[in-house]
């Protein structure tokens, strides 16, 4: 019996992500908040807040981790520059989503620097994050429905390409 390390491929750990890559969806939580998500490739997501108190937030090329739990059931997880940790479970065929988010206290006290494109406000976000406090964390758990779902090509720069306030009227209300 060998005591040495064993090799496990990344695909063995993540499962088959082919049913997730390129997915573009809009989902609505029970409280009326709406978000948009695009799975850009096997390591990156893009997102926008379309309705709710965080309206205006959007991000391109956010590093994320994905795992196939079963069939078309996936878990996505990422940490934003704000220190916010997000875990999303997607049931694509059931068109359901469950999200658990951990917000650092400073985000609740003064979220202003985050209400735009993260990449454009990174210096202000980092300064606010460093000012803190980062603890306590507020844990929010929400369930919602996927109201819009399509498959796009991977790495498509046209999917999430502008802030939410520059989208056409009715964009967030599309269904399919």
- Residue 125: pLDDT band with limits 50, 70, 90: confident
| 83: phi then psi, degrees, rounded to nearest 5 | 95, 0
Output phi, psi for 81, to 5 deg: -60, -20
Whether 35 is a known active-site residue: answer yes
Cα Dmax for the chain = 65
Has 80 been annotated as catalytic? Answer: yes
pTM across the whole model: 0.88
Task: Reply yes or no on whether the pLDDT at 92 is more than 60.
Answer: yes
Set 27, 29, 35, 38: catalytic member: 35
pLDDT for residue 10 = 59
For the chain, percent of residues with pLDDT exceeding 90:
69
d(CA 108, CA 110): 6
What are the tens digits of pLDDT across the range 53-75? 889 989 999 999 999 999 999 99
Q: 15 to each of 65, 67, 72, 107, 148, how far by Cα in Å?
A: 12, 6, 11, 34, 24
Does residue 35 carry a pLDDT above 80?
Answer: yes
**Separation of alpha carbons 60 and 111, rounded Å:** 19
Q: What is the CATH number of domain 20-153?
A: 2.40.128.20
- Return the DSSP state at 83: S
Go through 92-110 and write b for each residue having 16 or more CB atoms within 10 A of its CB, e for each that does not.
beeeebebebbbbebbeee
Average pLDDT in the chain: 91
Q: Where are the domains of the chain?
A: 20-153
Point out the catalytic residue in the list 29, 46, 80, 148.
80
């Amino acid at each position: 019996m060998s005591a040495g390390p064993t090799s496990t491929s990344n695909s063995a750990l993540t499962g088959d992500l082919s049913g997730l890559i390129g997915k573009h969806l809009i989902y609505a939580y029970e409280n009326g908040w709406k978000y948009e998500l695009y799975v850009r490739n096997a390591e990156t997501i893009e997102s926008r807040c379309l309705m709710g108190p965080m309206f205006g937030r959007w991000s391109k090329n956010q590093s994320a981790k994905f795992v196939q739990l079963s069939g078309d059931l996936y878990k996505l997880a990422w940490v934003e520059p704000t220190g916010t940790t997000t875990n999303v479970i997607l049931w694509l065929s059931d068109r359901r989503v469950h999200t658990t988010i951990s917000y650092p206290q400073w985000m609740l006290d003064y979220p202003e620097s985050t209400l735009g494109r993260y990449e454009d406000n990174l210096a202000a976000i980092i300064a606010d994050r460093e000012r803190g406090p980062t603890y306590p964390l507020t844990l929010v758990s929400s369930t919602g429905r996927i109201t819009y779902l399509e498959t796009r090509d991977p790495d498509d720069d046209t999917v999430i390409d502008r802030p939410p306030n520059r989208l056409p009227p009715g964009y967030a209300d599309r269904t399919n």
